[in-house]
Amino acid sequence: MSSGAVDNTAVHQPLQSSNGHGGPVSAVPSSTQVPAEVKMLNAVQAKIATPEVIKAARAMSHFGEHALGWIGIAAAGWVVDKPRRRQWAGVAVGAVGAHAASIVIKRVVRRPRPNDPSVQVNVSTPSKLSFPSSHATSTTAAAVLLGRLTGLPLPAVLVPPMLLSRVVLGVHYPSDVLAGSALGAASAAVVLAAEKRLDDRTRKSTGS
């Protein structure tokens, strides 16, 4: 994914409906949600979208693309922290699984990304689909699992900046990032439940 401000019309054209009428395809009621959320986008960008903030948001976008940054951190932990390799693998599985789930939902919902002329799009994207935010999904899953592993309050530190960055960059509505974060938390819960079952089986097999 290339960085830099891009033209709205080049990146976020409205998706065409399959019935040939040329209307945007969206499972989210645009008449009630999108106008209010466009105003929220405008307010956030007007308030904090300075060149420095946009630069930081782009860096976060590149780090989180396809969950690659979180996979890299999990891989490093797996190499260095041998006693807890299973937990580090769980971080990678959680981030990748969350990302995959978000892609599936995107293809079902098919909500177009923000394309209102008042919204400044500050980064290019590999897809025109918006709901939910894959960055928010994988980041939340990774943050929850890393927080469990390290004992640090990482969700509170890592998740809000990533969610806000997607709005600053103009590539997601607020509901996209909130839904993505909820999906990421659910994905992390699935991984934690699976790890607990494995621990229980191990204890039973060893008699401990």
pLDDT in tens, 149-199: 999 999 999 999 999 999 999 999 999 999 999 999 999 999 999 988 887
Q: Where are the alpha helices (DSSP H) in the chain?
A: 8-11, 30-48, 51-64, 68-80, 85-109, 134-150, 154-168, 174-206
- Looking up residue 89, the CATH number of its domain turns out to be 1.10.606.20
Count of the separate structural domains present in the chain: 1
Tell me if residue 24 falls in helix, strand or coil.
strand
**pTM score:** 0.79
Give the pLDDT score at 207.
63
Q: Which DSSP state fits 57? A: H
In a domain, 106, yes or no: yes
Query: 45 and 158 in contact (C-beta within 8 Å)?
Result: no
In a domain, 11, yes or no: no
> What residues does 125 pair with on adjacent strands?
none
Q: What is the overall mean pLDDT for the chain? A: 85
Phi, psi of 129, deg, nearest 5: -95, 145
Question: pLDDT band for position 105 (50/70/90)?
Answer: very high
In a domain, 7, yes or no: no
Tell me which residue of 78, 132, 124 sits closest to 104, measured CA to CA.
132
How many CA within 13 A on the CB side of residue 159? 24
In a domain, 13, yes or no: no
Q: Which DSSP state fits 113? A: P
In a domain, 156, yes or no: yes
Tell me which residue of 92, 180, 93 sits closest to 134, measured CA to CA.
180
In a domain, 102, yes or no: yes
Length of the chain: 208
Structural domain of 114: 51-206
Count other Cβ atoms within 10 Å, centred on residue 120.
Answer: 18
Q: Which CA distances in Å does 204 have to 87, 190, 193, 197? A: 20, 21, 17, 11
pLDDT in tens, 64-83: 999 999 999 999 999 999 99
In a domain, 131, yes or no: yes
pLDDT in tens, 50-63: 999 999 999 999 99
In a domain, 119, yes or no: yes
pLDDT > 70 in the chain, percent = 82
Spatial separation of the C-alpha atoms in residues 139 and 64, rounded to whole Å: 7
Give the rounded distance of the alpha carbon of 205 from its chain centre: 38
Spatial separation of the C-alpha atoms in residues 182 and 95, rounded to whole Å: 13
